[in-house]
Amino acid sequence: MHTNYTPLRALYDFYDDFIKGIPFACRKGCNVCCTVNVAVTSLEAALVADSLNQHGTASPADSPSGIIKQAASSPGYTPTTTINRNTWELIRGQDATEDSGEHRDGTCPLLDSEGLCTVYEARPFACRAMSSTIPCDQGGSAAMEPFLVTVNLAMYQIIEHLDSQGGTTGNLSVMLQTMLDAAPGDTENTMNASPLRNCTLPGFVVPPEEKLRFRSFLRRLQAWKTEDGTPLSRWLPEELPVY
């Protein structure tokens, strides 16, 4: 696959830097949130698929009959709308489309026999955003600062925007199976891994009490540079309204 991952990787690096210092309870081996209910953009899924291909036979997805195909045959949560699509509807005064995707039980097919992620460096943002300041194993609930929830939603929106030129959103296992089964360079098959098309970024809907802090976060994100020194603002709309 010949995909430009530069802005996506830079966003991941920015997020790692942004959350640095937050006292999360998450530790290596904690995989309660590693389920079959992960939603991704085709851009993120392509990065994961490339990582799996590079690992060769060490990957749990060595063949179409592997663990990923089994997971894709009975997928978990599959979104029926996207965050940017909903935001466009809201700022136009419309009722946001209800997401009717359902969750189910099941462990992520990308975990190894020890319960560790085999594509940790390439993991999608949905995995990076799942965090908690208190242990949430054994049926407990995660705890997250409200502003971080706002930031996470904004990150989802930006990643969707990066993949809005023909890109799609869907269930991770289904997207991966399509991509891993595709012939090298078969971008059309890759882009059609899900029928749910991504939308461009219309702006952000933020609680009034968080707007000042969010604008500071946004300036920091826009100024963040990729490995070649290009600011992330290059891949974003010139105007980024905060509603």
Mean pLDDT, residues 173-194: 74
Cα–Cα distance, 33 to 35 (Å, whole number): 6
**Bridge partners, 242 (sequence order):** 204
With a CB cutoff of 8 Å and minimum separation 6, the contacts of 112 are: 60, 118
Q: What is the tens place of the pLDDT at every residue in 124-172? A: 999 999 999 888 876 668 899 999 999 999 999 999 999 999 999 999 9
Helices 42-55 and 6-18, axial angle in degrees (round to 10):
100
Query: Is 58 a residue whose pLDDT tops 80?
Result: no
- Residue 194's nearest CA partner among 48, 63, 84, 39 is 39
Boundaries of every domain in the chain = 6-235
**Bridge partners, 101 (sequence order):** none
Amino acid of residue 154 = A
The pLDDT score that the predictor gives to residue 53 is 83
Tokens of 242: 């905060």
The pLDDT score that the predictor gives to residue 135 is 86
Task: Tell me the CB-side half-sphere exposure of residue 191, using CA atoms within 13 A.
Answer: 13
CA angle in degrees (0–180, nearest 5) for 190-191-192:
90
Mean pLDDT, residues 210-216: 98
Distance of CA 223 to the CA centre of its chain: 21
Cα–Cα distance, 136 to 7 (Å, whole number): 32
The pLDDT score that the predictor gives to residue 168 is 96
64 vs 156: which has the higher pLDDT: 156
Ranges of beta strands (E only) in 56-154 are none
Q: Are 151 and 65 in contact (CB under 8 A)?
A: no
How many Cβ atoms are within 10 Å of 159's Cβ, its own excluded? 27
Q: What is the tens place of the pLDDT at every residue in 77-104? A: 999 999 999 999 999 999 999 999 999 9
The rounded mean pLDDT for the chain is: 89
Q: pLDDT band for position 175 (50/70/90)?
A: very high
User: Residue 196: enclosing H or E segment and its boundaries?
Assistant: strand 196-197
Q: Are 26 and 134 in contact (CB under 8 A)?
A: no
